[in-house]
């Protein structure tokens, strides 16, 4: 049904103690939610994933979050940059799923001392392998810990405005690819 709300999964990519990803993901989920978008916040630190011994190419055993990833029409990936890449907990979440990600768009919201852009670039290649369209726009957050308030992450207005533009692009892709998955499913 084309008039049904888009389902957006916001994924908090870090599992470390005292992490920023949950605060940034909560901000992103709140800001992206509207009458036309249902938002589901998936936290890697809370994801129920089986032991890695069961990983298989092209899809593995069902995980505790597989249905939520599958139900999403699009993804906002909130990730820190650790050692010039994205964290292992996010890689585990991605690797445990295959079909669930396919032919959907993702916008990456990286963060770090320099904005986390290397993490975003590394994720693009991984998502390309899973048939995920990553949007051109990313919202690299430089030193987001400087914008923590009692209510959580509270960035300056230009960050919110850039986020809104990125979500607008993501929404276009999500609507387009949802129609394509329904009307012209990919096949060989």
160: nearest Cα among 27, 11, 50: 27
Residues 77/46, Cβ–Cβ less than 8 Å: no
DSSP type of residue 110: E
DSSP type of residue 16: S
Q: What's the CA gap between 139 and 117, in Å, rounded?
A: 9
Q: What is the pLDDT of residue 2?
A: 55
100: nearest Cα among 75, 77, 137, 120: 75
Q: What is the pLDDT of residue 61?
A: 67
The pLDDT tens digits for 99-152 are 999 999 999 999 999 999 999 999 999 999 999 999 999 999 999 999 999 889
**Local confidence band at 3 (pLDDT 50, 70, 90 cut-offs):** confident
According to DSSP H, which parts of the chain are helical? 21-32, 66-71, 88-95, 117-129, 157-183
Residue 149, phi then psi, degrees to nearest 5: -130, 180
Q: What's the CA gap between 165 and 138, in Å, rounded?
A: 10
- Residue 33, class by beta-carbon neighbours within 10 Å (0-12 exposed, 13-18 middle, 19+ buried)? middle
Residues 169/141, Cβ–Cβ less than 8 Å: no
Contacts of 28 (CB under 8 A, 6+ apart): 10, 76, 78, 109, 163
The pLDDT tens digits for 39-70 are 999 999 999 888 888 777 766 667 889 999 99
CB atoms within 10 A of CB 76: 29
CB atoms within 10 A of CB 65: 22
């Amino acid at each position: 049904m084309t008039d049904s709300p888009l389902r957006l999964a916001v994924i908090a990519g870090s599992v470390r103690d005292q992490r920023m990803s949950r605060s940034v993901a909560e901000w992103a989920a709140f800001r992206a939610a509207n009458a036309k978008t249902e938002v589901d916040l998936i936290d890697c630190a809370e994801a129920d994933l089986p032991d890695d011994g069961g990983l298989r190419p092209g899809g593995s055993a069902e995980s505790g979050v597989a249905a939520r990833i599958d139900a999403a029409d699009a993804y906002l990936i909130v990730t820190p940059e650790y050692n010039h890449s994205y964290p292992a907990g996010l890689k585990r979440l991605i690797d445990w799923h295959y079909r669930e990600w396919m032919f959907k768009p993702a916008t990456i919201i990286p963060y770090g001392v320099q904005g986390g852009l290397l993490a975003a670039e590394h994720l693009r290649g991984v998502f390309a392998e899973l048939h995920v369209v990553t949007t051109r726009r990313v919202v690299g957050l430089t030193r987001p810990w400087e914008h923590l308030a009692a209510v959580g992450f509270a960035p300056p207005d230009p960050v919110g405005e850039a986020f809104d533009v990125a979500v607008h692009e993501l929404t276009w892709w999500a609507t387009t690819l949802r129609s394509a998955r329904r009307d012209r499913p990919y096949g060989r």
